[in-house]
Chains A and B, each alone.
Chain A
Amino acid sequence: MDSLSTVLITYALSIFFILLLYFFSHMRYSRKLKDCQEDLND
């Protein structure tokens, strides 16, 4: 693998992991929000 491909993969992996964390944070928040709204409706 040449150096430029290594650089490209590094950048892709970096943004992937950061966005994965955002996705998990968002999912966790959405689930909690849904639970709270259901509790309020009950």
Chain B
Amino acid sequence: MYQHIAKYLVLNRVFKFFEKVTLPSLLIGITGFLLASYLAIYVLPADTEQKEIYRILFVHVPSAILSELIYIFLAVNGFIYLVWRTKISAIFLNSAISIGLIFTGLVLMTGSIWGKPTWGTYWVWDARITSTFILFIQYIGLLALRSSFSSHQTADQIVSILAIIGAINIPIIKFSVDWWNTLHQSASITTSGSSIDVEMLYVLPIMLIALLFISFAIFGRNIQFEILNRSNNTRMIKGVLNG
């Protein structure tokens, strides 16, 4: 009884919270994206070797970071759901899959566009690109699995297990450039420093934060949908909508 009331109160609060923050978050994100794009395209100097095309870095790298962070988020929420059966973790997990998919798609797209003038090809099956492509397939798999079950509980369990198992790919993506001989360059930013000039580096966190804000807005809308979709009694829906 108390557990049911607690769940309802949490979902109610989460729903209201995202009702307030989603639109401002989207607007901040878009403004940040436009600012970072302006700085990256028109303010920063051209690279001595790659000339103008290196500017793709400022959308490619943040997308790559987000695609991996979101997958870790899925795995953590999957684990929490399996251990403690918290409904909100399953909602978080389901709400973040499509965002991870879009950023992984963007990493592959921007990487291909960047690869053509620098490597002479749009695609090569090297370790970094292949492992990122596998991540893309994993996200599609999670989305497909989620909608394959009529019961939310079964879908949540299966998706959680798959998200946890799939997390093995994240260190593979991260260290692929160190473990194998790849066409893709090794990490530009490490704990020992950055190979990107400080003059150019500051745009990267601006773009990352902007994309985080937009992701948060999408996440919020997905959460609100999931809460309504899972609220199976009228009283609960009434409570969520009316406060």
Instruction: Please state if A40 and B238 are interface contacts (CB–CB under 8 Å).
Output: yes
Instruction: Please indicate the chain A residues that have their CB under 8 angstroms from the CB of B110 in the complex.
Output: 10, 14
B71 to chain A, nearest CB (A): 16
Given contacts A21-B98, A37-B241, A39-B234, contact A6 B217 (CB under 8 A): no
Pick the contact of B99 from A4, A21, A29 — CB < 8 Å? A21
Residue B33, interface by CB 8 Å: yes
A22–B26 touching, CB < 8 Å: yes
Min C-beta distance of A13 to chain B, whole Å? 7
Choose among A7, A21, A26 the residue that contacts B41 (Cβ–Cβ < 8 A). Answer: A7
B59 adjacent to A14 (CB under 8 Å): yes
Known: A37-B241, A40-B237. A25 touches B222 (CB 8 A): yes
Contacts of B221 in A (CB 8 A): 22, 25-26, 28-29
Q: Please pick, from A6, A8, A14, A33, the residue contacting B117 in the complex, using a CB distance under 8 A.
A: A6
Contact of B218 with A by CB under 8 A: yes
Nearest B residue to A31 via CB reads B225
| Interface majority SS (helix, strand, loop, mixed), chain B | helix
Query: Residues of B contacting A22 with CB < 8 Å?
Result: 26, 214, 217-218, 221
B41:A4 contact, CB within 8 angstroms: yes
- Name the one of B51, B106, B224 contacting A14, with C-beta atoms under 8 angstroms: B106
| B237 and A36 form a contact (CB under 8 A) | yes
Chain B residues near A4 (CB-CB < 8 A): 41, 52
Residues of A within 8 A of B98 (CB): 21, 25
A39 and B222 in contact (CB under 8 A), knowing A8-B41, A21-B98?
A: no
Q: Is B113 an interface residue, CB under 8 A from the partner? A: yes
List the interface of chain B (C-beta within 8 A of A): 26, 30, 33, 37, 40-41, 51-53, 55-56, 59, 63, 98-99, 102, 105-106, 109-110, 113-114, 117, 211, 214, 217-218, 221-222, 224-225, 228-229, 231, 234, 237-238, 241
